[in-house]
Amino acid sequence: MSKAPRANAVVGQSGGPTAVVNASLVGVIEEAKKHPEIKKLYGAIHAVAGIANDHFIDLKKLSSGKLKAIAASPSSALGSSRDKPTPESCAQILDVFKKRDVRYFFYIGGNDSANTLHVINKMATDIGYELRAFHIPKTVDNDLLVTDHCPGYGTAATFVALALIGDDLDNRALPGVKIDVIMGRHAGFLTAASVLGKQRDDDGPHLVYIPERSVSEKKFISDVDSVVKKLGRCVAAVSEGIRDIDNVTWAEKLAKKLGKNIETDAHKNIQLSGTSALADYLAELVKAELGVKRVRADTFGYLQRSFPGIQSAVDVREARQCGKEAVRLAMKENSGSVAIRRISNKPKYTVELFRTELSNVAEKTKTMPDEFISAEGNGVTDAFIEYAMPLIGKLPKTEYLGNHPKV
Amino acid sequence: MSKAPRANAVVGQSGGPTAVVNASLVGVIEEAKKHPEIKKLYGAIHAVAGIANDHFIDLKKLSSGKLKAIAASPSSALGSSRDKPTPESCAQILDVFKKRDVRYFFYIGGNDSANTLHVINKMATDIGYELRAFHIPKTVDNDLLVTDHCPGYGTAATFVALALIGDDLDNRALPGVKIDVIMGRHAGFLTAASVLGKQRDDDGPHLVYIPERSVSEKKFISDVDSVVKKLGRCVAAVSEGIRDIDNVTWAEKLAKKLGKNIETDAHKNIQLSGTSALADYLAELVKAELGVKRVRADTFGYLQRSFPGIQSAVDVREARQCGKEAVRLAMKENSGSVAIRRISNKPKYTVELFRTELSNVAEKTKTMPDEFISAEGNGVTDAFIEYAMPLIGKLPKTEYLGNHPKV
């Protein structure tokens, strides 16, 4: 590898925001300040859209107080984008990079973002323009390959676990069936996190449905019925991406049933969040099939990824370290994606960061491994809990009196 | 008033849970321990249903460590109920009270609960049975008369303010129209709290719709359009109870349009929470009428009232004090509802508690006063912000870089 060029750098944040994607940004800024090879560090406003439109801000100018506040703020401070770059826009981006002498491109995002970097890096190589392209992982879905887990997941999982602690106590107070629809298009990691706050044997969620295991309406109803018969109530955590036994998502089936058009993004992902039709449908199904009087459904929506003030300490630290590592790697390599390797889990959770090829991450999706999913497919295993617990924030211990001895 | 009898007491928690209703319960327990007039303190499991079924637990036995954990736990630790007592069930309740020598009845709840107390207290008086009946206010809706504000509101308002801080930053990152539907059947206080975390002039929510001001679809759409034209995005906070200009709720109109039955509770309140049809309808309306590409809607649902770990310090303290005050009042009065009077707001927020008649609170609803609502009816005034700010928890300062100078 040739010596790192002395030139400018661009950093952008792409895809759905998380509560720690700004910590990764701050990691990039802090590390970039240490390397004289990086002259200016441009922040691209709204990701690739900002690059194509030459809309940048100067990130090295930000004070350390400002950086601290940015790292604690949810969502993407630079603005984001869901645009999939076309060959034309990639060419445009390269033109901007050439014009501004940009030789380093750091992009914080998911597998689509890794692909964007891969494409642009390859185009640059083809025309003999040295552009070091590094991907910093970010997703609440935790669905990137190679890395043990993704920055953004731990805090979103904390939100989901907290929400279920409260929601389960709410359901104990006013018993019935409660259905919570949780983000996760292809991977069930975030939905699975709903169990992490369980403290008593009969705490909910009692059922967990993830995209990795198809489930029929019939099986869903019969599962709920069993729990209601046993406990007099039931809390079910359902991934927005759950699939019927023919492998079509319930969301798609429902949209067809309702005669609605399904919105897709530039990456052909269908819109699942920001609508609550699935939750309402499931609630009506339970009411109709089981005759349970009190059935409620909530869709956690965007709160899961952007709720402020509940950052997991591990998550925010790792997000920042991944940002720093990308800059360090760019001093000696041409491209790559930062990944996390778990060294030990108990008694002390430790990790190390390493580089993987962009092509190993680009456009690929990791799903929950079989050993994390219960045999019946409607719950998680202890192996999942051991995997996820070190990643989340502190959860409060709660009390409920309804099962105390009668007098 | 005659001397306080030496007898047993019952405490129950009724209606929708809050994040501090257990602090009120703990206040009752702590104060009851100080008064030898109260022999046993029975906790009624699931409120009036538990009383009628003679299902009680012994609350004086709980350790102080347990009480601390209970006070910090969201939802109703004793379980709740939405049953409206009938003359038959009231007679049954009195029978249980007589059998167990219960002369004190503390009930933590909203205006329906105050009415339950009022009815049972009157029945007891009519048959010459001394029963001291005290209401401890609780509601996230903040809609009780007489009291300055209700325990439960401050923490729910904190949740809503936090949610909007994150959601507005999310909408900045991926601009479009975002609609957040917030609890509040008749009163807009909780929806109004959505503005409390605003930090920059162009922060959302940009529009706030509350039940106190009717709004037509046309006006709603034109408001959203104006904001989008000005800012390129729009975040709207909408109460689940918003009404059309003919004063019928949008939720009811929508249910009729969809040919759905509307669920009502025993108090004839229609079910608004636990379904997200209104949010989805509003999103589709904006898409269809304005052609905005990215329109999303979330319904905050039950998370608003039961999310753990974000109790407002003022709210939890006042909830506990109201519980204690009810017991103190019962030593010298026959019945009443505890109310909060605000003594000063600035520079130091101070309150005092006082007693009001049950009939002043029973079955009555307070709504937002005119001076809290903007002239156009789609926002709140500084007077509301001054009223609400002392009640909520600390909100984080956030940073956004999209409006920094271009380079």
Question: Which residues on B lie below 8 Å from A72 (Cβ)?
Answer: 396, 398
Q: Which residue on chain A is closest to B15 by alpha carbon?
A: A174
Residue A28 has pLDDT above 80, yes or no: yes
DSSP A81: -
Q: Which residues of B touch A75 (CB under 8 A)?
A: 166, 169-170, 172-173, 400
Closest CA to B386 of B211, B151, B152, B192: B192
Both structure tokens of A76:
């993407």
* Contacts B407 to A, Cβ<8 Å: 40, 42, 56-58
CB B226 within 8 A of CB B196: no
Residue B370 to chain A, least CA–CA distance (Å)? 31
Contact between B57 and A397 using a beta-carbon 8 Å cutoff? no
Per-residue pLDDT reduced to its tens digit, A207-232: 999 999 999 999 999 999 999 999 99
Nearest by CB to A306, from B167, B175, B401: name it: B167
Beta bridge partners of A44: A56
Task: Quote the CA–CA distance of B12 and B96 in Å, as a whole number.
Answer: 14
Minimum Cα–Cα distance from A163: chain B residue: B307
Quickly tell me which residue has 């402020």 as its tokens: A308
The answer to whether B332 touches B1, Cβ cutoff 8 Å, is yes
Beta strands in A32-176 (DSSP E): 38-44, 56-58, 102-109, 132-137
pLDDT band per the 50, 70, 90 thresholds, residue B85:
confident
CB A79 within 8 A of CB A47: yes
Out of A19, A399, A402, name the one closest to residue B79 (CB).
A402
Q: How far is B180 from chain A (nearest CA, A)?
A: 10
Testing the interface with A: which of B24, B169, B316 to mutate, by most A Cβ within 10 A?
B169
Phi, psi of B323 (to 5 degrees): -60, -45
Which residues have a Cβ under 8 Å from the Cβ of A231 and sit 6 or more positions away? A202, A206
pLDDT (average), residues B306-327 = 98
In chain B, % of residues over pLDDT 70: 96
Does the pLDDT at position B271 exceed 70?
Answer: no
Distances (CA, A) of A37 to A3, A6, A8, A321, B313: 10, 4, 8, 20, 49
Alpha-carbon distance A212 to A276, whole Å? 21
Cβ-based burial of B339 (10 A; exposed 0-12, middle 13-18, buried ≥19): buried
- Three-point CA angle B315, B319, B324, nearest 5°: 145
Return the bridge partners of B136, or none. B108
Positions of B annotated as catalytic residues are 141
Does the pLDDT at position A268 exceed 70?
no
Of A109, A57, A114, A28, residue with least CA distance to A322 = A28
**Distance to chain A for B99, nearest Cα, Å:** 13
Is the pLDDT at B7 greater than 80? The verdict is yes
pLDDT number for residue A355: 98
Burial readout A281-291 (b: 16 or more C-beta within 10 A, e: otherwise): bbbebbbeebe
The residue of chain B with its CA nearest to that of A303 is B163
DSSP A153-167: HHHHHHHHHHHHHHH
- pLDDT, mean of residues A23-34: 98
Q: Do A301 and B303 touch (CB under 8 A)?
A: no
The type of residue at B324 is: K
Q: Which two tokens stand for residue A364?
A: 């690929």
Give the model's confidence band at A277: pLDDT under 50 very low, under 70 low, under 90 confident, else very high. Answer: confident
Average pLDDT score over residue span B200-212: 97
Q: B281 CA to chain A: closest CA distance, Å?
A: 10
CA distance A194 to A252: 24
Residue A17 has its nearest CB partner, among B173, B273, B298, at: B173
Sheet holding A295-299, edge to edge: A207-209, A234-239, A177-182, A295-299
SS3 A327: helix
A370, A363 contact by CB (below 8 A): no
Residue A269 has what pLDDT? 61
CB pair distance less than 8 Å for B296 and A275: yes
Is residue A23 classed as helix, strand or coil in its secondary structure? Answer: helix
d(CA A350, CA A292): 47
Average pLDDT, integer, range A40-44: 98
Interface test with A, best of B13, B75, B99 (most A CBs within 10 A): B75
Is there a contact between A132 and A337 (Cβ–Cβ < 8 Å)?
no
Give the closest of A165, A274, A298 to B296, CB-based. A274
Closest alpha carbon within chain B to A272: B296
Residue A272 has pLDDT above 70, yes or no: no
pTM value surpassing 0.90: yes
CB contact under 8 A, A401 and B19: no
- Residues of chain B with C-beta less than 8 angstroms from the C-beta of A406: 45, 55-57
Find, among B316, B380, B311, the residue nearest to B159 by Cα: B311
Show the beta-strand stretches assigned E in A2-126: 7-13, 38-44, 56-58, 102-109
Q: What is the pLDDT of residue A261?
A: 64
What are the pLDDT digits (tens) for B38-71? 999 999 999 999 999 999 999 999 999 999 999 9
Residue with tokens 């849970």: B17
State the nearest Cα–Cα gap between A1 and chain B, in angstroms.
Answer: 31
Lowest mean pLDDT among A40-44, A277-281, A309-313, A319-323: A277-281
pLDDT exceeds 60 at position B180 = yes
Among positive and negative, which fits the CA dihedral A114, A115, A120, A123?
positive
Alpha carbon distance A216, A245 (integer Å): 6
Degrees (nearest 5) of the Cα angle A325, A329, A335?
Answer: 120
Are A307 and B163 in contact (CB < 8 Å)? yes
| β pairing state of A350-356 and A335-344 | antiparallel
Residue B136 clears pLDDT 90, i.e. is over it: yes
pLDDT the model gives residue A255: 83
- What residue type is assigned to position A34 of the chain? K
pLDDT digits (tens, 9 = 90+) for A51-96: 999 999 999 999 999 999 999 999 999 999 988 888 898 999 999 9
Most confident of the following: A251-255, A363-367, B252-256, B259-263: A363-367
Residue A9 contacts residue A42 (beta carbons within 8 Å): yes
Whether pLDDT at B349 is above 80? yes
Chain A closest CA to B48's CA: distance in Å?
13
Instruction: From B388, B336, B348, select the one nearest B208 (Cα to Cα).
Output: B388
Among A67, A100, A138, A170, pick the best mutation site for testing chain B contact (most B Cβ within 10 A). Answer: A170
Q: Confidence class of residue B156 from pLDDT cuts 50, 70 and 90?
A: very high
pLDDT, residue A264, reads: 64
**Which strands, in side-by-side order, build the sheet including A350-356?**
A56-58, A38-44, A7-13, A102-109, A132-137, A335-344, A350-356
CA-based nearest residue in chain B for residue A394 = B309
Q: Please choose, from the candidates A100, A130, A104, A80, the residue with its C-alpha nearest in 3D space to the C-alpha of residue A32.
A: A104
Catalytic residue among A83, A141, A143, A180: A141
- Picking from B69, B295, B301, the nearest residue to A298 by CB comes out as B301
Average pLDDT across chain B, whole number? 94
CB contact under 8 A, B77 and A178: no
Average pLDDT of the residues of chain A: 94
Arithmetic mean of pLDDT, B181-187:
94
CB contact under 8 A, A56 and B406: yes
Whether the predicted pLDDT of B238 surpasses 80: yes
Choose from B54, B261, B306 for mutation: most chain A CBs within 10 A. B306
Q: Across the interface, which of A13, A162, A400 has its CB nearest the CB of B308?
A: A162
DSSP 8-state code for residue A310: -
Is A159 within 8 Å of A310 (Cβ atoms)? yes
Q: How far is residue B381's CA from residue B188's CA, in Å, rounded to a whole number?
A: 13
Residue A271 pLDDT class (50, 70, 90 cuts): low
Hey, how many other C-beta atoms are within 10 angstroms of the C-beta on B32? 24
Instruction: For residues B250-269, give the mean pLDDT.
Output: 73
Per the annotation, the verdict on A141 as an active-site residue is yes
Q: B55 vs chain A: nearest CA distance in angstroms?
A: 6
SS3 for chain B, per residue? CCCCCCEEEEEEECCCCCCCHHHHHHHHHHHHCCCCCEEEEEEECCHHHHHHCCCEEECCCCCHHHHHHHHHCCCCCCCCCCCCCCHHHHHHHHHHHHHCCEEEEEEEECHHHHHHHHHHHHHHHHCCCCCEEEEEECCCCCCCCCCCCCCCHHHHHHHHHHHHHHHHHHHHHCCCEEEEEECCCCCCHHHHHHHCCCCCCCCCCCEEECCCCCCCHHHHHHHHHHHHHHHCCEEEEEECCCECCCCCEHHHHHHHHCCCCCCECCCCCECCCCCCHHHHHHHHHHHHHHCCCCEEEEECCCHHHHCCCCCCHHHHHHHHHHHHHHHHHHCCCCEEEEEEEEEECCCCCEEEEEEECHHHHCCCCCCCCHHHECCCCCCECHHHHHHHHHHCCCCCCCCCCCCCCCC
Query: B279 contacts in A (CB within 8 Å)?
Result: 276
Alpha-carbon torsion (B381, B387, B392, B397), positive or negative: positive
Q: Cβ contact (<8 Å) for A303 and B276?
A: no
Residue of B nearest to A308 (CA): B166
A77 and B399 within 8 Å at the Cβ level: the answer is: yes
Contact A57 B398 (CB under 8 A): no
Residue of B nearest to A23 (CA): B399
B10, B180, B401: which to substitute to probe chain A, counting the most A Cβ within 10 Å? B401
Q: Which amino acid is at B4?
A: A
pLDDT for the residue numbered A83: 85
pLDDT grade, residue B87 (50/70/90)?
A: confident
> Which comes out higher in pLDDT, residue A41 or A363?
A41
In this predicted structure, what is the pLDDT of residue B6? 98
